[in-house]
Amino acid sequence: MDVAAAKRFGLFAAAGDLLDSVLNSARHRVQLLSVEVQEEKLRFIQLFIWVAAAAFPAVLHALGKDHRRIGIVGVALKWLPRFVRFAHAFSTSH
């Protein structure tokens, strides 16, 4: 039996293998947590978009007939650049 084969046996080798398994398991758990956080982030953003879309008609109704077009254009001008920046940042983060 050579020296390398002899080092694979024994209590220290078993402890080293156990530690390696524990560290690999922890690494996989952290990766899974990272994926879960990304998915929750996406769900939150989708929820925010749906809430904003649901509130938009109510805001336009509150503005009245005379100011609806101004409200639509104002909201579009205010939020479009932010949405484009966000979409670009989100697409480059993956």
Give the CA angle between residues 25, 31, 35 to the nearest 5°: 140
User: Which has more confidence, 64 or 35?
Assistant: 35
Segment 52-75 shows an average pLDDT of 78
Segment 35-48 shows an average pLDDT of 90
DSSP 65: G
User: Which has more confidence, 49 or 33?
Assistant: 33
- Tell me, what's the pLDDT at 1? 45
Segment 65-77 shows an average pLDDT of 78
Spell out the domain ranges in the chain: 3-92
Most confident of 8-17, 19-28, 61-70, 85-94: 19-28
DSSP 72-87: HHHHHHHHHHHHHHHH
- Tell me, what's the pLDDT at 56? 78
Asked whether the CA dihedral 17, 19, 22, 25 is positive or negative, the reply is negative
- Tell me, what's the pLDDT at 35? 94
**pTM score, whole prediction:** 0.52
Query: Is 28 a residue whose pLDDT tops 90?
Result: yes
What is the C-alpha end-to-end distance of the chain, expressed in Å? 49
